[in-house]
Amino acid sequence: MHDPVALALAEDIGSGDLTAAFFIDADAKSAARIFAKEPGILAGIHPAIETFHQVDPELRVSTTRQDGEKLERGDTVLEIFGKTASIVTGERVALNFLQRLSGIATLTSRYVAAVAGTRARILDTRKTTPGLRMLEKEAVKAGGGTNHRIGLFDMVMVKDNHLLANANLQHLERAVAHFKVEHPHIRIELEADTLEQVAAFLSLRNVDVILLDNMSLEDLRQAVKLNARRVLLEASGGVNLETVAEIAATGVDFISVGALTHSARAMDFSLEIL
């Protein structure tokens, strides 16, 4: 797997930090801190530390907070000491990781809070920034969310396009049975657009999860009744902070939210030389 920190530094520094090389004394040393400029949930502390270590292994970097902790405005999350040029060279990449990932954790925490008291868990999706999926999914966990599949390799999800390729229920049943023989411990999830599909999928063996795609609240409630806890149910589509509580109240087990990773606003952090 690639190293996202190394890639981020390579695209930022390129052949060298010209500003630091010409405008900062090579022997100058400083202490610095990174702090939150607004409230939120911290994520991305490890890639931020790794950024400074890759820029200059002699930098001393210590953290005062851990991923998942609630931050208030002004809270320090990292302290750095060493060559001033190295600190400012790593500054933007470290801040980018913290801002992006803490934004995801913060948004996730709001969804999790909105469904508190229900059985529903908030899931992420594969709608992630290319190359940053693992970091973004860790940020979802830091915000109290639950990771869905990591990729195409660790869970089966038969969606509408797969079903359109072969809509025969008997063929689907044979495919599910064959897969479970080869991969007995991997979950199978089927996407349903209608209650009729839900009923049909419930007649199949070895199905672990049914995805209820873009269904009305009434249809979600009917699907929960039809299911009678036989398999896990995931609601998807039309989910936002205004609708998620009502969706959770229908009794579904999971609610997947693409916005956690594709639309989270960056949380504001800053680095200051002390």
Question: Could you give phi then psi for residue 144, rounded to 5 degrees?
Answer: 95, 5
**Active site annotation includes 191:** yes
- Name the residue among 86, 104, 103, 87 with its Cα closest to residue 37: 103
Choose the catalytic residue: 126, 127, 133, 187.
127
**Active site annotation includes 127:** yes
Choose the catalytic residue: 70, 92, 180, 187.
92
DSSP H or E segment with residue 36: strand 29-36
Q: How far apart are CA 40 and CA 100, in angstroms?
A: 12
Choose the catalytic residue: 17, 213, 219, 253.
213
**Active site annotation includes 213:** yes
Choose the catalytic residue: 159, 225, 230, 265.
159
Answer whether 52's CB lies under 8 Å from 80's CB: yes
90: CB partners within 8 A, 6+ apart: 9, 51, 52, 54, 55, 56, 59
Q: How far apart are CA 219 and CA 214, in angstroms?
A: 10
Q: How far apart are CA 122 and CA 85, in angstroms?
A: 42
Choose the catalytic residue: 136, 191, 234, 253.
191
> Annotated active-site positions, please?
92, 127, 159, 191, 213
